[in-house]
């Protein structure tokens, strides 16, 4: 009704009566109807009535009806899946002309397909209310339904008082669970603070929580996640170190999963089960140490960067294939990331650095290996990731994707003009990403410029410059700290040139667009490149600052730290510039990449550096480098002791050193 009113400018009349004199009928199928036999199917049928011809949207079941309605609004009204998140301009029409062509939906490639709304800090901080309100969740779940998704993990460890679960269920979605919260049960240490989280010691306490979760959800559509990890999403043996062999660990996980399986089976009719083969559980399963019931969907996970291999843990990166082996029977699926948060190099605020071709190869490869019963997609905060989410929408429905034609259609769906140049920007975006390792997925997202930078600053100011920073070996190898800093500097220097070029091309393309498209292109494209560029530049200047500090060139190091600060501040300006209209405050809870934290850290470095030679008067560098020679020896202290601010001193010293270098 909303979509019809938006396009036609008038709210249509809605009736629940069986009335022959209507244009469109929306209903569930009867036995006589021609409708696809697969779950969630729908059809468009036509029949003559007193008005002429009537369109009937017929759903096989509830979700079939929903998909039929949404397909109608997309096909005939031009409302595309991410209309809200991509700020689509919906065109007004005087009338709708619908060809009288019956239509039957096709079955989706993946049976269970949906989103994990994870690391959703932007959704949390967007509005003043916490947890996120019904209004926010309705927009999230509508977009998922428009993608023909049918399942969701509605948020990460949100308060049980939130409406996220209820809204998802009301809108017809299957509910599933985080692998760290099996069965959707309350975390043990939250329910029993102070007790030891050991199933071996207190099985009845764990089972009480599981039974509570089953009772609460048994009347909903649920994909029950069976799992056993430790508190805080880590291996359980970190809480229970007596499990010191793979055999012991696998036996306990198998026992717990079988118990969860039996508890659900006693209370739920025809339950659907899945097990997340994530992290250590995948390794134990591949080693033959875990025994699973035959009818459980085994869910394999990518490494967070889109490659179907085991994820990197600190500096350990085994890259073991995370897909079923030949002969591994039963049902399989995948948990896949288009956004990730790992305190290393992931993309959180920006689009995935992996190309569409790379995503196609990995996901189609998973399907070919038999992992096509389930696809759970880590969608993050949705708005920054609409292009990648649209790629995965096509893959989970069609099973394959033609990259060029998909991009052509995506750009035409959300932009009115400039299609050729916009397509090239989407294509070239991933080519600008910093490659920090030998693998095709070793590409830097926005967190690369912030988490490693803050580690470097902490290591530096703690006086550990003569020690390798163990936390950065994943990116630099086992070299001295000075060489670690130089390694980041080299990569950022290469990356900055590419991001400068990409943003310059973006600005040229945006300049000729109309106002509607211009704003969208800034928010949906330039935003990402500008965050990369500002972060890359800020990190590079920080590395230069450390190099100058190491040579005891403190004024120069101070200037470089200031330039780092100004570059990182540009990232904050990019966030604020994207918060117009309905998006006001959208990025105010940037707690994960946390650009503001990086700015504060660099400011601390700058203050530290000024103390290395300008303290305690904070006038000495001004006197040495900036004061005219005619004044240096005759000035009166009482008229020249108002110290310059850090910014002002840095700007004037920057000019001085630039002129000195030219001389």
Please spell the DSSP secondary structure of 264-305, one letter per residue.
Answer: HHHHSSS-EEEEEE-THHHHHHHTT-----TTEEEEEE--SS
- Of the chain, the percentage scoring pLDDT greater than 90 comes to 86
Q: Which residue has the tokens 């969907």?
A: 297
**Residue 76 pLDDT more than 70?**
yes
- Over its C-alpha atoms, the chain yields an Rg (Å, rounded) of 28
What local confidence, expressed as pLDDT, does residue 49 receive? 83
Q: Which residue has the tokens 């002791």?
A: 641
Average pLDDT of 307-314?
Answer: 93
Give me the count of residues in the chain: 663
**Residue 20 pLDDT more than 80?**
no
Long-range contacts of 28-33 (CB under 8 A, 24+ apart): 28/58, 28/59, 28/60, 28/61, 28/62, 28/65, 29/58, 29/59, 29/60, 29/64, 33/58
Tally of helices (H runs) and strands (E runs) in the chain: 23, 12
| Helix ranges restricted to H, 52-183 | 62-77, 121-126, 134-146, 164-170
How far apart CA 163 and CA 428 sit, in angstroms, is: 40
Beta-bridge partners for 58: 27, 43
Residues 6+ apart with CB under 8 A from 545: 557, 558, 560, 561, 564, 605, 609
**Residue 305 pLDDT more than 60?**
yes
- pLDDT bin (cut points 50, 70, 90) of residue 154 is very high
Average pLDDT of 316-344?
Answer: 94
What local confidence, expressed as pLDDT, does residue 639 receive? 57
What's the distance, Cα to Cα, between the start and end of the chain in Å? Answer: 71
How far apart CA 292 and CA 289 sit, in angstroms, is: 10
Q: Which residue has the tokens 């070996």?
A: 473
How far apart CA 418 and CA 518 sit, in angstroms, is: 10
Q: CB count, 10 Å around CB of 390?
A: 23
Chain CA centroid to CA 312, Å: 18
φ/ψ (deg, to 5) at 145: -65, -35
Transcribe 204-255 into DSSP letters: HHHHHHHHHHHHHHTTS-BEEEE---BTTTB-GGGT-TT--SHHHHHHHHHH
**Among candidate residues 144, 148, 8, 27, the one with its CA nearest the CA of residue 76:** 8
Average pLDDT of 133-139?
Answer: 97
Q: CB count, 10 Å around CB of 4?
A: 19
Q: In this structure, what DSSP letter does residue 18 have? A: -
**Among candidate residues 176, 162, 111, the one with its CA nearest the CA of residue 132:** 162
CA 542, 545, 549: angle at the middle one, nearest 5? Answer: 145
What local confidence, expressed as pLDDT, does residue 241 receive? 82
- Contact 579/573 with Cβ under 8 angstroms? no
- pLDDT bin (cut points 50, 70, 90) of residue 51 is confident
**Residue 136 pLDDT more than 90?**
yes
What local confidence, expressed as pLDDT, does residue 455 receive? 98
How far apart CA 461 and CA 556 sit, in angstroms, is: 17
Q: In this structure, what DSSP letter does residue 583 have? A: G
φ/ψ (deg, to 5) at 514: -70, 170
Average pLDDT of 206-213?
Answer: 96
Q: CB count, 10 Å around CB of 191?
A: 14
How far apart CA 2 and CA 116 sit, in angstroms, is: 27
What local confidence, expressed as pLDDT, does residue 659 receive? 92
Q: Which residue has the tokens 């309905």?
A: 582
Its pTM stands at: 0.96
On average, the pLDDT of the chain sits at 94
What local confidence, expressed as pLDDT, does residue 638 receive? 56
What local confidence, expressed as pLDDT, does residue 633 receive? 65
Q: In this structure, what DSSP letter does residue 626 have? A: I
How far apart CA 100 and CA 53 sit, in angstroms, is: 8
| Helix ranges restricted to H, 78-217 | 121-126, 134-146, 164-170, 188-191, 203-217
């Amino acid at each position: 009704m909303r979509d019809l009113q938006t396009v036609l400018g008038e709210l249509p009349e809605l009736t629940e009566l069986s009335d022959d004199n209507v244009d469109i009928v929306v209903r569930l199928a009867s036995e006589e109807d021609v409708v696809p036999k697969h779950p969630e199917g729908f059809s468009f049928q036509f029949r003559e009535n007193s008005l002429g011809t009537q369109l009937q949207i017929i759903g096989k079941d509830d979700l079939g009806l929903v998909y039929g309605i949404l397909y109608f609004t997309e096909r005939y009204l031009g409302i595309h899946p991410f209309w809200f998140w991509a700020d689509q301009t919906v065109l007004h029409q005087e009338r709708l002309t619908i060809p009288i062509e019956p239509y039957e939906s096709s079955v989706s490639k993946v049976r269970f397909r949906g989103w994990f709304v994870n690391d959703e800090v932007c959704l949390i901080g967007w509005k003043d209310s916490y947890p996120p309100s019904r209004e926010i969740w309705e927009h999230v779940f509508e977009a998922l339904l428009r993608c023909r998704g049918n399942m969701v993990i509605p948020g990460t460890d949100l308060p049980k008082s939130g409406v996220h679960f209820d809204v998802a269920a009301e809108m017809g979605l299957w509910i599933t669970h985080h692998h760290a919260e099996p069965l959707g049960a309350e975390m043990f240490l939250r329910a029993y603070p102070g007790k030891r989280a050991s199933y071996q010691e207190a099985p009845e306490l764990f089972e009480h929580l599981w039974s509570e979760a089953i009772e609460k959800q048994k009347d909903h559509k649920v994909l029950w996640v069976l799992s056993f990890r430790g508190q805080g999403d880590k291996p359980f043996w970190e809480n229970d170190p007596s499990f010191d062999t793979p055999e012991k660990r696998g036996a306990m996980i198998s026992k717990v999963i079988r118990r969860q399986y039996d508890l659900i089976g006693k209370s739920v009719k025809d339950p659907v089960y899945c097990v997340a083969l994530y992290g250590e559980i995948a390794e134990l399963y591949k080693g033959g140490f875990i025994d699973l019931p035959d009818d459980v969907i085994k869910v394999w996970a990518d490494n967070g960067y889109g490659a179907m291999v085991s994820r990197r843990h600190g500096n350990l990166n085994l890259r073991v294939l995370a897909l079923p082996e030949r002969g591994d029977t039963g049902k399989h699926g995948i948990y896949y990331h288009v956004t990730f948060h790992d305190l290393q190099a992931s993309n959180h605020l920006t689009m995935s650095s992996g190309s569409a071709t790379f995503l196609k190869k990995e996901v189609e490869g998973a399907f070919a290996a038999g992992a096509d019963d389930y696809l759970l997609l880590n969608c993050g905060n949705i708005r920054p990731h609409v292009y990648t989410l649209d790629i995965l929408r096509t893959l989970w429905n069609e099973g394959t994707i033609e990259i060029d034609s998909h991009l052509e259609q995506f750009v035409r769906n959300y932009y009115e003009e400039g299609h050729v140049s916009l397509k090239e920007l989407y294509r070239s975006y991933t080519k600008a990403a910093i490659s920090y390792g030998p693998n095709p997925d070793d590409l830097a997202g926005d967190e690369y410029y912030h988490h490693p930078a803050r580690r470097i600053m902490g290591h530096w100011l703690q006086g550990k410059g003569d020690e390798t920073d163990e936390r950065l070996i994943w990116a630099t190898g086992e070299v001295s700290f000075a060489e670690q800093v130089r390694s980041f500097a080299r990569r950022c220097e290469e990356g900055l040139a590419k991001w400068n070029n990409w943003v310059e091309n973006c600005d040229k393309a945006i300049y000729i667009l109309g106002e509607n498209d211009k704003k969208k292109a800034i928010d949906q494209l330039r935003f990402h490149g500008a965050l990369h560029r500002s972060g890359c530049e800020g990190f590079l200047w920080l590395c230069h600052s450390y190099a100058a500090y190491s040579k005891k060139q403190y004024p120069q190091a101070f200037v470089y730290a200031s330039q780092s600060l100004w570059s990182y501040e540009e990232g904050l300006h990019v966030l604020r510039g994207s918060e117009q209209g309905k998006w006001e405050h959208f990025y105010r809870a940037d707690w994960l990449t946390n650009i503001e934290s990086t700015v504060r850290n660099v400011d601390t470095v700058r203050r530290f550096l000024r103390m290395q030679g300008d303290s305690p008067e904070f006038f000495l560098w001004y006197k040495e480098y900036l004061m005219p020679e005619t004044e240096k020896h005759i000035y009166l202290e009482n008229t020249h002791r108002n110290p310059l601010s850090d910014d002002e001193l840095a700007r004037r010293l920057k000019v001085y050193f630039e002129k000195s270098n030219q001389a």
